[in-house]
Structure 1
Amino acid sequence: MSIAVNDAIDREQERLAALARYEILDTPRETDFDDIARLASDICGTPIAVVNLIADRRQFFKAEVGLGVRETPFESSFCAKAILDEDLLIVPDATKDARFDGNPLVTGEPHLRFYAGALLKTDEGLPIGTVCVLDFEPRQLSELQQRALRVLARQVMTQLELRRALRAQAYQTEVQRRLGIRRQAQATRLVAENEQIRLDEARLRIAQHAGGIGIFEVDIASGEVEVSEEFCRIFGLPAQRSYPAATLEALVEKDDEALRSDKQTRRTGTARLDVEYRIRRPDDGELRWVARRARFVMDPNGQPTKMVGVVIDISDSKQRDIRNAALLSLGDRLREVGTIEEALRIASAVLAQGLAVDRAGYSRIDRQADAFVVELDWNAPNVISLAGGKPLGGFAEILEKLANGQTLALPDVAQADWLGGHGADYLEHNVRSLLKVPVVERGQLVGVLFAHDSTARIWTRDEMEFARGVADRTYASLGKIGAEDEQRVLNQELSHRLKNTLAIVQAIATQTLKNVSERDAVEAFSARLQALSAAHEILLNQSWSRARMRAVIEKVLAIHAEPNRIAITGPDVPLGPKAGLSLSLIFHELGTNAVKYGALSNQDGRVDVSWTVTDEGGDRVLNLTWHERGGPSVVEPTRKGFGSRLIRMGIAGTGDVDKRYEPTGLVAVFRAPMSLIQELGD
């Protein structure tokens, strides 16, 4: 065996011994290391970051972001190659690197492309692992990101050294003395590294502004916060090097104060590190959403000395989420309204709140009256309503813009010279910017959903899409309400004609059968006509679509008995027209028989009507029971008339009926599939 091979083996044994001394392998996850992995991912902008330790033919992840596992096969490890490099290994595109182009993690799932790893080295220079970042796309790291990765690697080693030192301190005083010296040296190194990070802020400014990321560092003892220029811009403050922490805390909205850090929570290390809250910027008074991500820097005794992190303005994405939720809620709310006024009131409020404007509403174009009529508007406090009509002539320029169906967005009315004198009218009513979404029917402009604000503003694409979404849902609701109004008028006319027809049938039957001696049959026929009429009336009130089971049963049985003698229980099932008519005739026959022979023929009897809907093999089935109690004893009749045959046919002709003549009274159980019960028919 050559000398070189022996040296390599000896070196590997030293490296493994050094790693073992830290007693870190196979330990649980810890926040300190998780924070470093997260910070590496945030700084380098990669989906994956790992604090990785290379043992004997295995690799162990002390912390990871984006992987979800604590180990991966050693043979496919990038980091195993990294420990052969001096300091930092960067693989911009693994498919073009001979060392990795055959790696199964590159050629197969998860198709890794980019790798950068900074070595974890002991004081003796022995590599024991890496702080690495990975991506699924080829990329490069800036000089600043490379430097940050090295700093984080040194932070990991500092943590490992501190932990080893603290473990040794518990065993002997002499070791404690030496560790004290080492901790002091390491603390000095930490201070130097933090100072270097602070000096690098100037180089970060361009990147911060491009990404909208502000950087801060709180000195916990003094309460001073060093901030970047982008931090100042986000918070609406004059650009300067530092601010007292209290100045920044005062900008947080009152309702969100519990989320901010303060002197006490920073000193104890209990401040929330990853939070989102609202601030009121002092320069323009605007309310903004800010996401803050921070970490504590500890001294050798484990006490927090600094709080460092970043802030990001997330107002746009937050507002987008709020608007999406508002649109979903608007659709649900509009489905329940029954009047145009109610629909417009809801839509106006949602539009105004979603856009944070002073006024929103709906205007109708009345061509006959030559008027532009504001039907209804929502107004912020101390903002006057514009409800009412104005001549169309004064809006000629705006109507021309809206006639083609395009949304009109004016960022500044004062700069829109084409408005002419009408621009002055807007300004007089404190309207500086406006947004209008037209509704066009058959090529004709018939209405406008509008939003007004007292300040000049650039309407974003998201805001315009939101306004169009509100308009689409509102116009659909208005169309539905209009159609329902027309349907009600039609139903009223149909109801009138049907009642006349049934009255004629009744009169013809009475006249034709007046000489019939069997008056029971005549009366039964007349009663059945009444039951049919009652069912038709219920269906007409439900627009010939869905009557409700309870309403049909109560309407029919009201003819036969007082409500206190009939108990009705069951879910309020909607019925199709066929089932509704069928049930009305069946319950008329049951009620008639109960009055003549059963529970309703005396003073004590009563009838229980109940139903349930069950799931039987994936099909929903209605189970309806008629149960008479307290009447005279009943027996099955020997003669079967039309009524009996009608009952045996079941609901909507299903024939699924079980009739039992029990000593306590008649029991009839009907079953029918819900698909048939709720069938609307042709």
Structure 2
Amino acid sequence: MLTNASGKRSQHDDPDHTPWSESERSAALHSYSILDTPRESDFDDLARVASEICGAPIAVVNLVDTTRQFFKAEVGLGVRSTPLETAFCRHALLEEDILVISNATIDDRLRCNPLVTDAPHIRSYAGALLKTPDGLPIGTVCVLDYTVREFTDQQVEMLRFLARQAMTQLELRKTVSKQRFLLARAQIAERGKANFERVVRQASDFIGIADDRGRVVFMNDAARDLVGLRPNEKLPHDVMSYIADEDRGVFRDEVVPLIKAGESCEREIRLRDFGTGDAVPALFTMFPMRDEHDAVVGYGMVTKDLTEQKAEEIRRTEMMAEAAHRIKNTLSIVQAIVSQSLKTAGTLQDAKAVISKRVAALAKAQDILTSAEGAMADIADVVSSALAPHDGGFGRFTVTGPSRRLAPPQALGLSLALHELATNAAKYGALSGDQGQVHINWTVDDLGEFAFDWTETGGPAVTAPVRTGFGSQLINRMVAPYFQGDASVTYQPEGVRFSMRGKIPEGGSTEDE
């Protein structure tokens, strides 16, 4: 008969009436990750002590799964797993804490068990439950014998003690495994954080972080460079100190309220360069950072430097202004060509031919002005086309320099400068009289270093203008940047001089004219 330690039949003999489900019990067992693990001395010692105290040839630390039982430790068996159908311990799971069987041959549930009727002819059994903190049975510490026998109260109590020790080892093993998992996850997260910080720090855009009080706590290298802070220089904490004086009102009135409301914002804002004090145009994006509970824990800032973009916009604006200026002057130039041609021509037929020739030359020069996206042009062609409307065939220009091809923007810039210089020379300088001359010379070395000079002689005495006109601004601010260099116009008494130094693309021939 199947009995508990008191010798009475268990109230849990019916497996269909248990306080737990088999799926719950199995999940609890698997949570320890103990099945099919190698032998461990801590569990082997428990099995050996159980065998010695109970005087039993077989002792087991047994874990009962849904289809088999796994022996974490065993004495006298020589195997690590057996099917659940013949397991004595599956009946022990129905007890409160221990199952004791003195004679298996007369027990209703075990007398037909192959382990009883055949070899090894098991006759007695005692097993104390391994129970989780939630009371779910997952196995036993048990002993088996080949003879009919009784187990003393001391032996039964010792099995209970060894079962508690086994559960302590399982819980400790589970805790250590969990701690290792958490440590590994923390290490992975830390490596991920380090990699993220490395990417952020090396990113080309301004990236910063402020805490929930709005104090700046991090800026990557690009951000420091943008606002003129050295790599190890202490960060100013006040966000407002990074904003240029002229934009602080906009930042305070438009950006701060959005951030306080938990919204993101994007504005063109001028930042302050702490090194030079200059205002740096930038596209400023600021957004709240939230934790898993949606609470704001800080603010992210991503800012893109717009310095080059703004400079290009200024150049385009000035180029459009120059184009408009040239369109307005076109009729004036045509009128001057017609007037000069009629004045010097012997007959109307001669005047007609000269006018046609000069207007055609003007049109060719205008082609260069409107083909900045076209093919590269030779310096000599640019100079010839730009001066043709002002030449008239009287040898007023002396031109020397090697053949070299210019990028389209450079051809356009140089043509603009020559038109401006020639127009001014015709109005006020060497070309306004009958004797003046213009000498043009340029050089290019093997490295692409470019030097260009325009020198006027023989004209009226020159005085420097009281204010700088549009043409001079064009030459100084627009033309030179296309050559990555600088340019200047000087007003000497004997004549105007224009000088430009820069670079042009390498390649092309260098034959002198």
| TM-score range relative to shorter protein | 0.3 to 0.5
Q: TM-score, normalised by structure 2?
A: 0.32
Q: Which has the larger radius of gyration?
A: 2
More helix by percentage:
1
TM-score w.r.t. structure 1 length?
Answer: 0.24
